[in-house]
Structures are given as C-alpha cells and as structure tokens.
Amino acid sequence: MIAMTIFVILAGGIISGVFTVRADAENNLYESSALNVAISFLEQAKSIDYLTLEAPPVNGTGKEYHTFIIGFGETLAVPLGDDVVINVPIISNAEGESKKELDVTVNITVTEATDLQGYWMEVGYSWRHPTSNRIYAGEVRGFRSEISTY
C-alpha cells in the first residue's frame, strides 16, 4: 500500500513535469518566432540606403513607409510608426503549407539621431499566446551610422 502511494505521487510529479516542459517549449517557440520577425525587420531597415532614410516614400494616406521582404520573395509596405499584423507560419508541412500560425504585431520607427550622424531604428513586436491569450511584447533596437568605421 505504501509502495502504491509513493508510485502515484512519483507518477503525478513526472506527468506535471512533462506538461510544464511542453508549455515552456511552446512559449519558447512563439517567442523565438516573434523575435526572429522583429530582428529580420531591423536588419532590413539597417540596409535601407541613406537617401531613402532621409526622405522615405509616402503611401496614399500620407504615411511614410518602407518596403520589407516578409517571406518567399513577398514584399510588404510597412507604414512607419503604425502597428502592422503579420501572420507568421510556426509549423508547416513538406509542401510548405502552414499548419500553425502566429499573428505578430510589429511597429517600426526610424529616427534621425540628434547628436550623432545616423539613424536610430526600433522594432516593437507583440503577440498573443494562442492558449493563454496573454500578450507578450518586446523591442529590438539598432543604429545605422553615416560615419565610415574603416
């Protein structure tokens, strides 16, 4: 009887540990996917030529924007300072069809530095956890200098 009680307690502990590890792995998958999207936008923003950074194109509503590649050669005109929702495939099959997706909201700002020669670039990102509905958010920042380092 004592052995059976110990077995039940150990089995319950192992099962709860498995569920905790699964939930942590799922959270890490979502967070890393959203962070990769934000870093991708930041790196693309850092590669925009200076003339375009100084005078970005304007869309039909009068908002400044930059064009980014979002996957498989597809481009997206992202208005600066506005939230844009991007559907990110998390799991796909061998044919490339998305089986699980995550909506990631990005907000890109490009600001001319006041006391340095260059541009501050910030990409804010957020996503809603599909299971808990909790909203996670983060930000990645970079600087593009006009001064040659060599």
Nearest to 108 by CA among 57, 55, 46, 150: 46
What pLDDT, on a 0 to 100 scale, did the predictor assign at position 89? 86
Tokens of residue 101, six digits = 């997706």
- For residue 80, the model assigns a pLDDT of 93
Q: What are the residue ranges of helices labelled H in 47-73?
A: 50-54
pLDDT of residue 114: 81
* Mean residue pLDDT across the chain: 86
Cα–Cα distance for residue pair 57/48, rounded to 1 Å: 12
For the whole model, what pTM was predicted?
Answer: 0.81
Indicate the residue type of 125: Y
Is residue 68 within 8 A of residue 80, CB to CB? The reply is no
Q: How confident is the model at residue 53 (pLDDT cuts 50, 70, 90)?
A: confident
Say how far apart CA 123 and CA 65 lie, in whole Å: 14
pLDDT in tens, 106-133: 999 999 888 778 899 999 999 999 888 9
